[in-house]
Structure 1
Amino acid sequence: MKDSRRSRLFLGLLLAVALVLITVDHRSENTPVFGPLRTIVTSAFGTVERGVSTITEPIGGFVGALAGAQGSREQITSLKAQNAELEGELSSQRIDKRRSAELQAMLGLSGLGGYKVVPAQVVARRASPGFEDAVEIDAGTADGIKPDMTVLNGQGLVGRVVRATTSTATVVLLCDPASSTGARIENSGELGVISGLGANGNSGRRIMFRLLDSTLPITVGTRLVSFGSQQGVPYVAGVPIGVIEKVEATPGELTRTAYARPFADLSSVDVVGVVVEGPKRDPRDALLPPAPKPAAKPKPKPKPATTALPGQQAPPQVARPGVVTPETGPANQAPADPGNTAPENTQDGDAAPENTAPDNTAPDDTAPGDTRTPGGRDGETSISDDEAA
């Protein structure tokens, strides 16, 4: 009981002192009695408060992160799903745009050549019995497709149909080793045979061309078109095939061999057209792409003028008739040598040049003795004809 009374008494005393101090400090506003003390206490408690907040803030943030971890995880998962969906839509748009361009090119080529085609898309690329390079398309007999029909795309010949079901068909590509077709050189009637070399044949050159007449010339850059089969089966005429990239020398053989790059990219075939009806007339070379322009030959650089070094004589410049150059013009003519002056050809009166050399003067004719000087040199005696006789 004594302890509790003392405690209550002490607490009451402290409260009374605090109340007195607050009252005194409040009444002395202009000159606070405890101003310096308040400043010291505030500074001390501010330092302690900053230190405590530095420690407690990371702890509070960590506790808050743990509390909201589940919601953040769900938000991240949702954002990833939205990102994947947008990427898929963008990829689909790019694919659709590319396929639309390929379809337009294929329809343009077939329309220009007069081919009636059924558009199709490659759905698989697999080997087929008897063929190592074939593709599967999403069109079949229900669309009017039959075996031995020509297949092309916007660039040129792709291959031919070998099998067909109700909804699909198998197309053997032009580069297959078992594939062959007749070909014609552009702007001529020279014929040859195209054969496939496989996917990796001859360092990336996909087809081989054998010209039937070995005496005819064939050069790199020559373009080939399909010659066509009887009734357009399996190949119609006039479809662009490729361009010659290499010619091999075949001495003694009956044919000439060359390697060509197909116009159609046979490694990434996508949109194709199956020719269900051939043209009424052979389009010949009308479907070939524009020939590339030859590269411009570089202009020869002018030779710099030869400058004579001190103590050396500059080489003579020979001027062509009617051509005046800076090197041979009047301002740059070399000075004439006094000891080797050539006679000038004067046009007035067509006068002959005079020989002014003193040592080469011809003597006057003397009638009395017809005296002559045999050598015309100093120190020699002239004799007459009578004395010589």
Structure 2
Amino acid sequence: MARKGYDFATPVRRILIGLLALLLVSLFLFWRVDSPRAEAMRAEFVDRFVPGFEWAMTPLTQVTRMVSSLQSYSRIYAQNQELRRELQKMQAWKEAAVQLEQDNAKLLAQNNVRLDPSLTSITGQVLTDSGSAFRQSVLLNVGRRDGVVDGWAVMDGLGLVGRISGVGNQTSRVILLTDPSSRIPVKIQPSGQNALLTGDNSILPTLDFIERPENVRPGDRVVSSGDGGVFPPDILVGQVAQRSDGRLRLRMAADYGRLEFLRVLRSHPAERLEDGGALILPPEAAPIGPQLPPAPAARPQASAPAAGAVLRAGDAAPAETP
């Protein structure tokens, strides 16, 4: 078995480590010495050797910049995520603000409609559109508890929409003017022609039974006539339109595509006269021709003369009573 030789590396390593430690300690002590000569030597050392080590400091500088950039990127990413969350919240608030602005505009438009001062209204919100191919109607969130009565007129901020047809405790149904069962009397202005507006499941209901169609022009204003007490008079319904077939129809003033808030008009039935005694009767007719003389008054019956009375000559004796 071969014997190992003497290990010279370990003592040399120890000596080198000791010399390096001694050199570092000496350099440290020299760097800490506070004297003008030592200060001059340190300045000379820095000026001579430090600029030459710039190539060695470049990787460290780049690493430091990369770390700083990563930290900045992390901060920017966190800020970006926070801004995204804030933007989503702002978009939700914007949608709510736009919706409220539209609702406010519609309510203001309803308040700006000039109606008869004797008419009051109840504003309700459309819950759902229950219309179909054979029935045009909507549901409102006002009902019997709010004083709604069947048959009252309903309008939006622009014109007449329909009438109440069915009242519940909290909801009510509105039959639109476009429903086939809807027929209301209207008046065409300025000619004053009366007509009947008939729904036919289209956005342009027909105008029937016009007295003089030649006096009606497209664009004429159409209002409710109030005949029959179905609707209050002078409520805007729309304008006259003429189709290609020459038939007169009505372009609705109400925005049927965006029915959200509707006004139910309180209309009271006309007063009925039931007490005939309160009427002023005409005077009796006088007879025609000359007036007849009045009838003579009846003469009183003669009584018997008193006892001892003397009859004069020429006096007739009283007749004896049986």
Q: TM class by shorter-chain length?
A: 0.5 to 0.7
Determine the structure 2 residue equivalent to 1:11: 17
1:264 aligns with 2:254: yes
Determine the structure 2 residue equivalent to 1:385: none
Could you tell me how far 1:211 is from its partner in structure 2? 4.5
1:142 aligns with 2:142: no
Equivalent residue for 1:48, pick from 23, 39, 59:
59
Point out where structure 2 has 5 or more consecutive residues left out of the alignment: 1-6, 32-36, 272-322
What amino acid maps onto 1:97 in structure 2? N
Q: 1:16 to 1:61 in 2, by over 3 A?
A: same
Equivalent residue for 2:51, pick from 39, 42, 58:
39
* Cα distance in 1, alignment partners of residues 266 and 23 from structure 2: 112
What amino acid maps onto 1:139 in structure 2? V
* Cα distance in 1, alignment partners of residues 130 and 124 from structure 2: 17
Q: 1:247 to 1:164 in 2, by over 3 A?
A: same
Instruction: Determine if contact 1:218/1:247 at 8 Å carries over to the other structure.
Output: no
Equivalent residue for 1:115, pick from 106, 119, 123:
119
Point out where structure 1 has 5 or more consecutive residues left out of the alignment: 251-256, 282-389
Q: 1:5 to 1:273 in 2, by over 3 A?
A: same
Q: 1:97 to 1:213 in 2, by over 3 A?
A: closer
* Cα distance in 1, alignment partners of residues 39 and 141 from structure 2: 98
Determine the structure 2 residue equivalent to 1:229: 227
* Cα distance in 1, alignment partners of residues 26 and 47 from structure 2: 15
Could you tell me how far 1:125 is from its partner in structure 2? 0.9
1:83 aligns with 2:90: yes
Percent identity of the aligned residues? 18
* Cα distance in 2, alignment partners of residues 31 and 185 from structure 1: 107
Could you tell me how far 1:240 is from its partner in structure 2? 1.4
Equivalent residue for 1:243, pick from 239, 245, 270:
239
What amino acid maps onto 1:87 in structure 2? K
Mapping 1:114-133, distance limit 5 Å: 114-127=118-131, 131-133=134-136
Q: 1:5 to 1:81 in 2, by over 3 A?
A: same
Name the SS of the counterpart of 2:174 in structure 1. Answer: strand
Could you tell me how far 1:261 is from its partner in structure 2? 1.0
Q: 1:278 to 1:240 in 2, by over 3 A?
A: farther
Instruction: Determine if contact 1:236/1:278 at 8 Å carries over to the other structure.
Output: no
Could you tell me how far 1:144 is from its partner in structure 2? 2.3
Q: 1:37 to 1:273 in 2, by over 3 A?
A: closer
Deviations 1:294-320 (CA, angstroms, capped at 9, x unpaired): xxxxxxxxxxxxxxxxxxxxxxxxxxx
Could you tell me how far 1:163 is from its partner in structure 2? 0.9
Name the SS of the counterpart of 1:191 in structure 2. Answer: strand
**TM-score, scaled to structure 2:** 0.65
Alignment RMSD (CA, Å): 3.9
Determine the structure 2 residue equivalent to 1:168: 171
* Cα distance in 2, alignment partners of residues 83 and 220 from structure 1: 47
Could you tell me how far 1:118 is from its partner in structure 2? 2.5
* Cα distance in 1, alignment partners of residues 41 and 198 from structure 2: 110
Aligned residues: 259
Q: 1:53 to 1:30 in 2, by over 3 A?
A: closer
Could you tell me how far 1:72 is from its partner in structure 2? 7.8
Could you tell me how far 1:188 is from its partner in structure 2? 3.9
* Cα distance in 1, alignment partners of residues 213 and 9 from structure 2: 133
Determine the structure 2 residue equivalent to 1:192: 195
Could you tell me how far 1:264 is from its partner in structure 2? 1.4
Q: 1:80 to 1:102 in 2, by over 3 A?
A: same
Could you tell me how far 1:101 is from its partner in structure 2? 0.7
* Cα distance in 2, alignment partners of residues 131 and 162 from structure 1: 16
Could you tell me how far 1:176 is from its partner in structure 2? 2.0
Deviations 1:134-164 (CA, angstroms, capped at 9, x unpaired): 1101111222222222212332211111111
